[in-house]
Structure 1
Amino acid sequence: MVRFFRWLLFPFSILYALVVRFRNWAYDSGLFKSTSFNLPVVVIGNLSVGGTGKSPMTEYVLQLMKPYLKVAVLSRGYGRKTVGFRYVETDDTAKLVGDEPLQIKRKFPDSMVTVCEDRVWAIHNIQDEVDAVLLDDAYQHRKLKPRFSILLLDYESMQHPILPLPTGNFREPLRGSKRADVVVITKCPDELPVSIKSTLSERLRKYTSAPIFYTKIHYQQLQRVDGSLLENKTGMDRIALVVTGIAKPQPLLDYLQPQFKEIIHLAYRDHHSFSPTDLQKISQTFADIDTSEKIIITTEKDMQRLPPSFVEKHPLYFLPIEQVFLYDQAPAFDRIVKRAFAC
């Protein structure tokens, strides 16, 4: 029913696509102004709405460059209840700064992480404090002219027609990939056949000559907020209540399913702010599971939005993820990114 309703909105998708095309032309032609900076400014983004793995890529690039430069991460801070410019601190809440910036700050406490809707103004504000700026989800922020752009396209979305909002999930069509300096196909299957890789590359080559890389998600060990790992048990004797507030939870569920006797899933929208009613529902659902062998599992991003009081009184574990390059492409990607940050 939802899909049918979205197809009814297809005329609006055509209008949306025309507006996006005019906007990009206006920036490309100089009719609209873009601001550039003397220090390296690297943008990570996508063409679709959510679920492409921007956070793992941001963390990967930050980890790569930390030994060489003082890199600031700048985010819009999607989902926060505040406005304007803020430095992110480890003891902030997701309501103040957004879940993804908070996650990055807690993993990289020595790095500057900031949030601001106006990315150009924010860079003006911090440029004297750092050597470079790394922006997540800013591919469509055309007021900023970055030195280097990393475009992410998730594997699943590339298996279907690319349709603009509101019928589809794309902010702009594939022709938008021409602005990218590298393209990364994310969330690929563990074993991606060369034939499919070639088909995807040929499809993108109609629009971009940028190097194309392929990555998959690697799930790490389940752990608590204090870093303790889940005790391994023989046999599938546990039931897991999985709580997600992310765009595409199915890959996580597919990964967890074989490891547990039963999976119970409570799904919320991406960046969902958990209310007292939500927390009560989660607690009651967990209490109603008729076994002592049970845990609650969430994502690392969702963990940032759960209050410490809730975390402390439940056997709550989160599942960190990292990005892994296929076809031994990591060294080539690393070299390109290091050149992009060279002052």
Structure 2
Amino acid sequence: MIRINKLTNKQANIKIKNSYIRTMNLLRKLLFPFAILYGWITSARNFLFDVGFLKSRSFSIPVIAVGNLSVGGTGKTPQIEYLIRLLSDKYKIATLSRGYKRKSEGFVLADAKVTSEILGDEPYQFFQKFPQIQVAVDANRVNGIEQLLSESNKPEVILLDDAFQHRKVKAGFYIMLTAYDDLFCDDFMLPTGNLREVRSGVNRANMIVVTKCPGNIVSEKMNEIRKKIEDYLKVDIPILFSYIDYDDCVYSENEKISVTDFQVVDKLVVSGIAKPEPFFAYLQAVKKSTMVFPDHHNFSENDIKTILDTANERKIVTTEKDFVRLKGKLPVDQLYYLPIKSSFVTSSDEFNKKILEYVGASTRNS
């Protein structure tokens, strides 16, 4: 008699996932020579900018660039939103992004006619949340800034989203983000690792923020991380720590429900962001009631049908970034989102002081 072992669907999925991870890890190791080559190329490019052979453009108004050394989610969007909240009561603010995966080209300044497809999900989120600011997209950051400054209602401060490697613009202040569970100092160059450039690029920063920390991180752990980062610094750069702070409520277009009440609701949790596990955990979502899509995913008609079929008339909750792409495609009374914001672990005073001093001095000089 032959005994046949039958895997459950869950076991089969785990086996496939583990096999995929092993294959990808092996592939990354095999591509190590290309990582070395890529590191040389990016280092040479940075050197040419540093010595002035390749030109960087400076501007007379304060320009703050937020970015990172690695690919993947480090929390740039909540950091930009933090800066908007800090500065928009005192200054006319504009954000300038590439507009990742947008279905438009060139310079676009948000107005009442734009959609998330035209602007990109993150810029459209800025536009929806902060009607008092200007939101623009342009892959050519120099052209984008020139276009903003040619407007009759030109901004007094420009925030560049994901612009740490955009050396053609010389920002006045650089904020470099690195994620707590994926520190740049523990990483390696693409394609073996996730770094866009060598670790020494951190020295262009005016401030480093370790993002996505546990809310209860202890001072000993922060000191340990600070020391690891300082090994790559040539000058003294402030190193701060932040965490993702979730809202107490989820929102639809028509109502809000406390997270405490929503946690016990039978729901479907949908995510199209990098590293969605903390989002799922906060909503106490069991794995069988979650759907994961790639970061910045453009939801197709088939995706929408799959989501609705899986939800089976249950409430659907998603991230704020995904909400702007799902809005209008799913029933209004069924779709909710959970806002997030960036908060500093100890105090925001040092961060706020540095930014306000830079902007104030630059505005007076301009």
Smaller-chain TM-score bracket? over 0.9
Look up the SS of the partner of 2:60 in the other structure. Answer: coil
Q: Which of 279, 295, 299 pairs up with 1:274?
A: 299
- Matched with 1:58 is 80
8 Å contact from structure 2 (residues 68, 164) kept in 1: yes
Give the distance between the partners of 1:24 and 1:188, measured in 2 at CA: 30
Give the distance between the partners of 1:58 and 1:251, measured in 2 at CA: 20
Shift of 1:149: 0.4
Q: Which of 340, 345, 349 pairs up with 1:321?
A: 340
TM alignment of 1:194-343, pairs within 5 A: 194-208=219-233, 209-226=236-253, 228-230=255-257, 237-257=264-284, 264-287=289-312, 294-312=314-332, 315-328=334-347, 330-342=348-360, 343=363
Shift of 1:48: 1.0
One-letter amino acid matched to 1:111? I
Q: Which of 27, 49, 63 pairs up with 2:49?
A: 27
Shift of 1:127: 1.8
One-letter amino acid matched to 2:144? A
- Matched with 1:9 is 31
Give the distance between the partners of 1:181 and 1:157, measured in 2 at CA: 20
- Matched with 1:80 is 102
Give the distance between the partners of 1:133 and 1:234, measured in 2 at CA: 40
Shift of 1:327: 1.5
Give the distance between the partners of 1:252 and 1:124, measured in 2 at CA: 38
Mapped pair 1:108 → 2:126? no
- Matched with 2:182 is 157
Give the distance between the partners of 2:259 and 2:283, measured in 1 at CA: 14
Give the distance between the partners of 1:234 and 1:320, measured in 2 at CA: 16
8 Å contact from structure 2 (residues 107, 137) kept in 1: yes
- CA displacement 1:11-51 (0-9 Å, x = unmatched): 11111111111111111111111000111111010111121
How many residues align structurally? 334
8 Å contact from structure 2 (residues 207, 238) kept in 1: yes
Shift of 1:232: 6.6
TM-score normalized with structure 1 length: 0.92
Percent of pairs identical after alignment? 38
Shift of 1:57: 0.5
8 Å contact from structure 1 (residues 90, 105) kept in 2: no
Tell me which stretches of 4 or more aligned residues in structure 1 moved more than 3 Å: 231-237, 260-263
Look up the SS of the partner of 1:215 in the other structure. Answer: strand
Mapped pair 1:176 → 2:224? no
Shift of 1:234: 6.5
Give the distance between the partners of 1:95 and 1:118, measured in 2 at CA: 19
**Long gaps (5+) in structure 2:** 1-22
- Matched with 2:92 is 70
TM-score normalized with structure 2 length: 0.87
Give the distance between the partners of 2:286 and 2:42, measured in 1 at CA: 48
TM alignment of 1:122-161, pairs within 5 A: 122-128=144-150, 129-158=154-183, 161=186
8 Å contact from structure 2 (residues 208, 239) kept in 1: yes
8 Å contact from structure 1 (residues 47, 172) kept in 2: yes
| Comparing 125-134 and 152-161, the one that deviates more | 152-161
Give the distance between the partners of 1:31 and 1:50, measured in 2 at CA: 30
Look up the SS of the partner of 1:271 in the other structure. Answer: coil
Give the distance between the partners of 1:121 and 1:159, measured in 2 at CA: 30
Greater radius of gyration (CA)? 2
- CA displacement 1:189-208 (0-9 Å, x = unmatched): 11112111111111111233
One-letter amino acid matched to 2:255? S
Shift of 1:71: 1.2
